[in-house]
Structure 1
Amino acid sequence: MTAAHEQRVALITGAARGIGKGVAASLLRAGWTVVLTDIDELEGQEAAQELARLGTVEFLVMDVADEASVQAAVEQLEGDFGRLDGLVNNAGLADPDTGPLEQLSLERWNRLLAVNLTGAFLVSRQCLPLLREGGAIVNIASTRSLQSEVNTEAYAASKGGLVALTHAMAVSLGPNIRVNAVSPGWIDTRPDAVQDSDPLRQVDHEQHAVGRVGQPEDIGELVAFLLSPAAGFITGQNMVADGGMSRQMIYRE
């Protein structure tokens, strides 16, 4: 068995870009073997090639809302590595604005929940036999599970459901499997070149107690900790990582 196969293996859904890609980079730097999945095969392969400089990476196509797709990808992972130590349920439809509630179609509501919430259930369920020996799951939720803008009912419901699913799974799957959620705030997921050419406003950064908008690696470092033995006494929790933005009382003058 190769050294790569002896490393801890993590599966990250929705990892072709943004937070998922940032989590992958952090785990690779921490010595993990990482399996990226995404519905976008081209961008997923490009992400895997880019991240390969940091360690052992594999990419698998997966539609988290499709049970057969999830089963096929996890079976391939098992065949390739024979183990799974960490699962990061990150895949999701990112645009929270679904328009006025009275115009929100049942089809759009169902699609958003299928990807953002049911997808985490399907992937977690499929991975359980591999994780039973002792592993950890991190669900990527959102501060929108705790607070809202207008016209975001479906997104808020999906992320709120994901937080509830997290503590339910933690109770059911312990003590062998720990389950936590991370709720990111404002994370600038645009490519570095776009961030450089079109920087955010200073006022955007000043809304945060830490003085800046977040980056994907900020979430990646927290996820790496939660998957590690150092977090062995933490389960069922929703860890908010938003630079303190949701703790500030902001009144318009």
Structure 2
Amino acid sequence: MNKVSIITGGARGIGAAIAHKLGTKGYSIVIADIDENAGQYRLNYLKNSGIDAIFIKTDVSSEHDVSNLMDKVYEKYGRIDVLVNNAGIGFSGRSIEEQTLEEWRRIIDTNLTGTWLCSKYAVKYMKNTGGVIINIASTRAFQSEPNTEPYSASKGGIIALTHALAVSLSKYNIRVISISPGWIDTSKWQVPPRTSNLSNLDHKQHLTKRVGLPEDIASLVSFLVSDEASWISGVNFTIDGGMTVKMIYIDENVIQNSLALLFDDYELSALIRRLIDKAKNNKEEIKKLLKEIVG
């Protein structure tokens, strides 16, 4: 009997890559997703890859749906070994003054409450055999851009929930771990797949010189659920190409280096840098010149 893994939000993006990776490792895969069309697409993809898989339409913010999900999985397979709490939604980008309570609740209910609900109902069956719960958080739990409050709060809550669950569930031999991805290009794992449109600057600003891929997260998940990681629980893994360790101070050199990456042309970036230096002493002349160039 194969071990069984449930991946919420498993129809596309990071969740889809995790489902495929664990499927190639011999797991029976349960895709739990609110999008029925995407779920069926991913189910066919996995089956065509020779992976045993089922799809169960699930809204992780619904206690009824989550309870039904776990019951159905246990009825079919008689066990639950791995739960990957990946389902989540993003943020509107509206300012705090414009954010609504409805938006806050929708994001918290899906990202954080959904993680709690799925863990709660999976434990009912997972405690019979032990297992692993992987919670997908985000580097937004530690660093933010403007207007991300509901999303950042939900991801920070997931990390706190992770260590609380790890302590509570250790008596059942259940390990609980969170992963905080950075910038991930999910184009290949969308429904249907898309072509990536990232720039040279997007990639080379990372210490690893590229934006992350869902496969990067899937490989880490594959290790963490394995017996080789049996001494790991209650911790968060940041996987972001090194972005969160960079200190960035904006000055002319940073601007020039960024332009060199953006255009892949050091000479052009050096000329623009000289233009910036000249503009410090004569803004009006440089503005006039630029207006003539750009029209």
TM-score by length of 2: 0.81
Find out whether 1:114 has 2:109 as its counterpart: yes
Find out whether 1:187 has 2:187 as its counterpart: no
Q: Distance in 1 between matches of 2:139 and 2:92?
A: 15
Alignment of 1:47-58 (within 5 A): 47-52=42-47, 53-58=49-54
Q: Distance in 2 between matches of 1:238 and 1:54?
A: 32
- Aligned-pair distance for 1:247? 1.1
Find out whether 1:161 has 2:168 as its counterpart: no
Task: Report 1 or 2 for greater relative contact order, CA contacts < 8 Å, sequence distance ≥ 6.
Answer: 1
CA-atom RMSD in angstroms: 1.2
Alignment of 1:6-155 (within 5 A): 6-52=1-47, 53-93=49-89, 95-132=90-127, 133-155=129-151
Q: Distance in 1 between matches of 2:209 and 2:55?
A: 35
TM-score by length of 1: 0.94
Alignment of 1:196-215 (within 5 A): 198-215=196-213
User: Does the aligned pair in 2 maintain the 1:98–1:154 contact within 8 Å?
Assistant: no
SS in 1 for 2:6: strand
1:163-212 Cα offsets, whole Å, 9 max, x none, are: 000000001110410000000000001237533xx531001001111111
Larger radius of gyration: 2
- Aligned-pair distance for 1:104? 1.1
- Aligned-pair distance for 1:74? 1.2
Match of 2:223 in 1: 225
SS in 2 for 1:60: strand
Letter in 2 for 1:7: N
Find out whether 1:178 has 2:175 as its counterpart: yes
Change (3 A) 1:157 1:68: same
Letter in 2 for 1:41: E
Q: Report the count of equivalent residues.
A: 245
Structure 2 unaligned residues grouped into runs of 5+? 252-295
1:109-136 Cα offsets, whole Å, 9 max, x none, are: 0110000000011111011022112100
